[in-house]
Amino acid sequence: MTPLTVIKIGGNVIDNPAALSQFLTAFAKLPGAKILVHGGGKIATQVAEKLGVQTTMIEGRRITDQPMLDVVTMVYGGLVNKQIVAKLQTLEVNAIGLTGADAGTVLAQKRPVTAIDYGFVGDIIDVDSGRIQAMLMQGLTPVYAPLTYDQTGSLLNTNADTMASTIAVDMTQRNAVTLVYCFEKKGVLTDPDDNDSVIAELTPKLYAEYKAAGTINKGMIPKLDNAFAALQNGVAKVIICHADEVGAAVSQQGAGTVLSQ
């Protein structure tokens, strides 16, 4: 099967122009077919404040009412996405900026209201891997903003980690997929204040132990839940690493945290 690398970039890298530029330069040098999924939450919060739109977060997740949906559509699908695409073009990567609505590639449904009403937040129900594969075969590099759409025609704010893992899993029908989560840390850490305390390899058993001890907590938990789910559903390899080390991680030079079953 054809090798394919799916990379999610987020954290403080997106809102740091120098760090983002350095990452994109490394991303451009990665061999073979690749897909990029990006976040941009901090920029969305800044823009919302300038526009007088209130930001509400519950357990690290953004409540997306109609005004906030307008903001994230502008920021994720417009500002951030097109800046990344333009930079990649200068690096000789023929990038195409997308949301899940484009070519109908990532369909979702509005998250049901339970104890919390998240508003216009999408849970993915289908990925058209054939259409994404067609783009790759044309030499294009898809760059996805974390936006999906539903069958009523509404755009939906969607977790970028989940979007990356779901796309990666669906692409395993045609490819040997490596999924990489890049951010400002060197990997999964035993001490969040020590960027050198990297856990080199993480299994489900170790993950459960670290969670129980509180060593792994907060925002790292949903990221790892997505990562292990991807492994269990056909993704060949999952790596969590610093954005600066993406090249070394993909080429198996010991960077970051490698997840195994």
- Give the separation between CA 133 and CA 138, rounded to whole angstroms: 9
Using pLDDT thresholds of 50, 70 and 90, give the confidence band for residue 41: confident
User: Is 94 annotated among the ligand-binding residues?
Assistant: no
Mean pLDDT (the chain) is 93
User: Is 131 annotated among the ligand-binding residues?
Assistant: no
Q: Averaged over 76-82, what is the pLDDT?
A: 97
User: Is 81 annotated among the ligand-binding residues?
Assistant: no
**54 DSSP 8-state letter:** P
End-to-end CA distance of the chain: 21
Domain-wise residue ranges, the chain: 2-259
- Of 44, 78, 75, nearest to 61 (Cα)? 44
User: Is 40 annotated among the ligand-binding residues?
Assistant: yes
Residue 60 has pLDDT above 80, yes or no: no
246 compared with 1, residue with greater pLDDT: 246
Architecture of domain 2-259: 3-Layer(aba) Sandwich (3.40)
Instruction: With beta carbons less than 8 A apart as the criterion, state whether 101 and 175 touch.
Output: no
**Where in the chain does DSSP place strands (E)?**
2-9, 33-38, 57-58, 61-62, 95-98, 106-110, 122-127, 141-144, 147-149, 155-157, 175-183, 201-202, 237-242, 257-259
* CB neighbour list of residue 70: distance below 8 Å, 6 or more residues apart: 53
Q: So what's the pLDDT on residue 61?
A: 82
The bridge status of strand 61-62 relative to strand 57-58 is antiparallel
pLDDT (tens digit, 9 = 90+) per residue, 141-160? Answer: 999 999 999 999 999 999 99
Q: Where does residue 89 fall: left (phi above 0), alpha (psi -120 to 50 degrees), or beta otherwise?
A: alpha
Q: Averaged over 67-89, what is the pLDDT?
A: 97
Q: So what's the pLDDT on residue 226?
A: 85
Q: So what's the pLDDT on residue 25?
A: 97
pLDDT (tens digit, 9 = 90+) per residue, 19-37? Answer: 999 999 999 999 999 999 9
Find tokens 């198996």 and name the residue: 252
